[in-house]
């Protein structure tokens, strides 16, 4: 990777952009509802049905539905901004119904069905906020600082949210904490929608009409598929490592170690946003993927606790800056009018990678023990990064020889 050069936008300057403070504050409140949700949802369904198995299924299906449909909700809101309040109302109502049913007792099928329905409607605050940062920023340096601040804030909210959700549940009850989470969601998303502003218009085509891509799947922009492949690997690796640490060292040690990984991500993201890099984001991404793979390889080569701690601290920094770099590429790869959806596809790729990593880790550890977890995490990241580079190289070669682009 190229060495950084001096000169960047400050976070104070980013927050001084028109409407930035209001957007940042309301988006943070809306995101807090997502951070709060995990424990109240799980424990409320457990209280309402009397089964942890049902509660786990409901929480898992909620997360899966939300992740898979996230890009399509983002596409809808990007094209019809007026649907955001409707999504907020339906989402809050479904969470409220789930909270009421949990307090009164309800059948397992109803609990799972309500959780799945709720997963259809969460408003896409993260993708919308990242798109607005790109629209507000006056330079590449401002955009990098804005997206770094946004990523660190989102990570912090998702780290603090479960703690607050657990404390709220302990102080009241699981159904009441779920109802409070629904209230926070409605308040946050309504306030965010009020200050969001109009959507950017899609670029006009030669025939005067706007581009209207209706097919399912990610945007068919050259290079975007390769970017998603790298992000998929970056989501798989930490999930593999986390399950491996729990199996090898127990929850008491795994908790602080994973908190160290999150701390590394926050520090790395803040530092990254304040540096003006001489290399373009598309060149930084594979370098960060390779560095993250090396960080996971360190505990594999030296399994002492100190080495694991250092490796996870650095891996967190590399992984979070990799995600920031991926978001930075959306404005260069994707035309206006589709960037919110593209940002949501990055989230979906990461979440699917995380789910795959947890599943693979469980199967692998049951057969071979926890030792292969870190080597596998490093290998997955290295493989996904290498394949992404090969795809981009192939696209560039075809473009030179045939005078066109391949949508990879």
Evaluate whether 131 touches 200 at the Cβ level (below 8 Å).
yes
Report the percentage of the chain scoring pLDDT > 90.
Answer: 52
Establish how many alpha carbons lie within 13 A of residue 157's alpha carbon, considering only the half-sphere containing its beta carbon.
21
> Stretch 165-194: mean pLDDT, rounded?
93
Confidence of residue 203 (pLDDT cuts 50, 70, 90): low
Confidence of residue 302 (pLDDT cuts 50, 70, 90): confident
| Total length of the chain | 408
> Stretch 292-317: mean pLDDT, rounded?
91
> Stretch 231-242: mean pLDDT, rounded?
92
Residue 83: CB partners within 8 Å, gap ≥ 6? 76, 77
Q: What is the pLDDT of residue 258?
A: 84
Residue 5: strand, helix, or coil: strand
- Secondary structure (DSSP) of 250-285: -HHHHHHHHHHHHHHHHHHHHHHHT-EESS-HHHHH
Q: What is the pLDDT of residue 407?
A: 45
> Stretch 97-106: mean pLDDT, rounded?
93
Q: What is the pLDDT of residue 5?
A: 43
Q: What is the pLDDT of residue 89?
A: 95
Evaluate whether 343 touches 327 at the Cβ level (below 8 Å).
yes
Q: What is the pLDDT of residue 316?
A: 92
> Stretch 258-282: mean pLDDT, rounded?
89
Confidence of residue 349 (pLDDT cuts 50, 70, 90): very high
Residue 381: strand, helix, or coil: helix
> Stretch 34-61: mean pLDDT, rounded?
89
Give helix 20-49 / helix 125-136 axis angle, nearest 10°: 170
pLDDT at 246 over 90: no
Q: What is the pLDDT of residue 378?
A: 94
pLDDT at 1 over 50: no
pLDDT in tens, 51-93: 888 988 898 889 889 989 999 999 999 888 889 999 999 999 9
Q: What is the pLDDT of residue 207?
A: 45
pLDDT at 24 over 70: yes
Confidence of residue 28 (pLDDT cuts 50, 70, 90): very high
Maximal C-alpha separation, the chain: 67
Q: Which residue has the higher pLDDT, 211 or 393?
A: 393
Q: What is the pLDDT of residue 393?
A: 82
| Distance in angstroms (rounded) separating the CA atoms of residues 319 and 293 | 9
Please state, rounded to an integer, the average pLDDT across all residues of the chain: 87
| Distance in angstroms (rounded) separating the CA atoms of residues 92 and 284 | 40
């Amino acid at each position: 990777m190229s060495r950084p050069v001096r000169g960047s936008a400050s976070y104070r300057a980013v927050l001084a952009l028109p409407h930035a403070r209001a957007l940042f504050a309301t988006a943070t409140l809306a995101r807090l509802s997502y951070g709060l949700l995990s424990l109240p949802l799980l424990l409320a369904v457990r209280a309402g049905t009397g089964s942890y198995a049902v509660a786990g299924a409901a929480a898992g299906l909620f997360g899966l539905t939300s992740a898979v449909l996230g890009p399509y909700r983002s596409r809808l809101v990007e094209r019809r901004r007026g649907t955001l309040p409707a999504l907020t109302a339906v989402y809050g109502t479904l969470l409220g119904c789930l909270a009421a049913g949990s307090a009164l007792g309800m059948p397992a099928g109803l609990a799972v069905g309500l959780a799945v329905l709720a997963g259809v409607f969460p408003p896409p605050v993260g993708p919308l906020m990242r798109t607005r940062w790109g629209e507000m920023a006056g330079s590449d340096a401002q955009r990098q600082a804005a997206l770094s601040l946004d990523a660190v804030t989102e990570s912090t909210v998702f780290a603090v949210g479960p703690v607050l959700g657990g404390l709220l549940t302990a102080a009241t009850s699981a159904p009441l904490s779920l109802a409070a989470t629904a209230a926070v969601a409605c308040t946050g998303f309504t306030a965010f929608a009020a200050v969001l502003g109009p959507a950017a218009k899609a670029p006009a085509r030669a025939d005067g009409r706007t581009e209207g891509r209706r097919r399912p799947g990610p945007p068919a922009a050259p290079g975007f598929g390769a970017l998603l492949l790298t992000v998929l690997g970056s989501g798989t690796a930490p999930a593999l490592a986390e399950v491996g640490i729990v199996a090898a060292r127990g929850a008491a040690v795994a908790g602080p170690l994973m908190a160290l990984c999150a701390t590394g991500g926050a520090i790395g993201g803040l530092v990254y946003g304040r540096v003006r890099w001489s290399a373009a984001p598309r060149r930084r991404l594979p370098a960060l993927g390779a560095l993250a793979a090396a960080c996971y390889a360190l505990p594999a080569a030296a399994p002492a606790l100190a080495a694991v701690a250092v490796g996870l601290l650095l891996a967190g920094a590399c992984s979070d800056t990799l995600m920031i770099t991926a978001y930075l590429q959306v404005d260069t790869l994707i035309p206006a009018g589709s960037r919110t959806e593209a940002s949501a596809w990055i989230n979906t790729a990461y979440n699917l990678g995380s789910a795959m990593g947890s599943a693979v880790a469980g199967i692998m550890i049951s057969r071979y023990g926890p030792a292969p977890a870190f080597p596998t995490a490093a290998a997955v990241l290295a493989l996904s990064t290498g394949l992404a580079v090969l795809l981009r190289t192939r696209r560039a070669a075809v473009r030179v020889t045939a005078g066109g682009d391949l949508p990879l």
